[in-house]
Structure 1
Amino acid sequence: MDHLDRRAAGLRALAPSCGPVRLVAVDGHAGSGKSTFTGRLAEALGGNIPVLHLDDLATHEELFGWTERVLSQVIGPLAAGRDAAYHPYDWNLRRFLAPRRLAAAPVVLVEGVGAGRRALRPHLAALLWMDRGAQESWARGRARDGAALSAFWDGWTAAETRHFSADPSRPFADALIRECREGYEWLPKPSETARSHHSVTHGEGSPPAY
């Protein structure tokens, strides 16, 4: 069993946090490698793991204004033990599409900038933070998307900075994920702030610290 497989086994062993589901969030700056890591983690968890990409719930006008959609379309049904059905946003057509099913599996991954935001943390079994700085992450994202999306990135980086200034995720992470030449390094939580957070949310029926 390799390192990521062992970590995946640890996630599966956590207590359910959202109805019967262990909801695991992967947060970090845009361009930090969240999607790639989440894909690797899903494989380590067994391959057939439901993944919610928060890009599917954001819009051009509401880059970070998707909280109510997540709570009503995803968290509510999962907490009740039902499969969720959310409307993914089409970034080319600029409209929401037909509902997409998200199974109430034992482990569900939610990936995206702001996945560890204040409103979602009480429903998480674990919060993982991609440990790559903002400037490096954004440079990677810009290089990936090319000059055609330069204006979008200008608006995005400003919006992301405002979001994390008002509602940071990293201090509450249960682990930092650092990409290495061969795989990923899984580092301890960044500060005792996370312990304080969990001590409060436990009283509200939230999952144990990871």
Structure 2
Amino acid sequence: MTPDTAAAELLAIARRRPPTLGGARLVCIDGPAGSGKTTLAAAVAAAEPDARVVHLDDLYDGWGGLPRVAEQLDDLLLPLARGEVGSYRRYDWVAEAFAETVPVEPVPLLVLEGVGCGTRRHADLVTALAWVEAPEEVRLRRGLDRDGEALRPQWLRWQVDEAALFESDDTRARADLVVDTRQ
């Protein structure tokens, strides 16, 4: 399935359902690191001009931040569910610290992209959930090609954390659409 085809299918699912995030729809694109979530999010945004994409890479507090991502999503999603401005603190990976607070106005379609965005904690706010996957060796290669071999230990630790999160949240089983990007 191409990213454009997957985006069209995901948007069709979301459009068939009533708004779940206040008066808006929330599409979450979850799956392991290196699986192709960012590519799918870009295709969704290209197909839906009113969409706003938030990348969870901006929310994690470093390589060890995945276990706390559901809590960090509270400040973004809970106000939006009330029709108010949500926000998140952007993490600066170079400075290894949180930087500015980023406001997110209510929009017709909010797309969250990143590991853990489909957390069970916020499942009642999700209009459509996509799970993007690829074999572990493919994902690791993609990540190291992007980030460099020096970050292999961080990637391996991240894979352990994401596997634990996905098991506890049963994310793949709750997905409305599964996209395999093994190429």
TM-score, normalisation: structure 1: 0.76
Correspondence 1:68 to 2:36: no
1:26, 1:36 → 2: CA distance? 10
Identity among equivalent positions (%) equals 34
Show the counterpart of 1:144: 146
Higher helix fraction (1 or 2): 2
Note the residue ranges of structure 1 that are not aligned, 5 or more in a row.
182-210
| Deviation of 1:39 (Å) | 0.7
User: Which protein has greater RCO, CA pairs closer than 8 Å, 6+ apart?
Assistant: 2
Give the match's secondary structure for 2:116.
coil
1:179, 1:132 → 2: CA distance? 5
**RMSD, aligned α-carbons:** 2.1
2:9, 2:151 → 1: CA distance? 38
Show the counterpart of 1:172: 174
Give yes or no for contact 2:53–2:113 (8 Å, CA) kept in 1.
Answer: yes
Counterpart residue type for residue 28 of structure 2: A
| Deviation of 1:176 (Å) | 1.1
State the structure with more CA Rg: 1
Alignment CA distance shift 1:101-1:69 (3 Å): same
Show the counterpart of 2:24: 21
2:180, 2:94 → 1: CA distance? 32
Note the residue ranges of structure 2 that are not aligned, 5 or more in a row.
none
Q: Which runs of 4+ in 1 moved over 3 A?
A: 2-7, 178-181
Give the match's secondary structure for 2:178.
strand
| Deviation of 1:151 (Å) | 1.9
Number of positions where the alignment pairs a residue of Structure 1 with one of Structure 2: 178
TM-score, normalisation: structure 2: 0.87
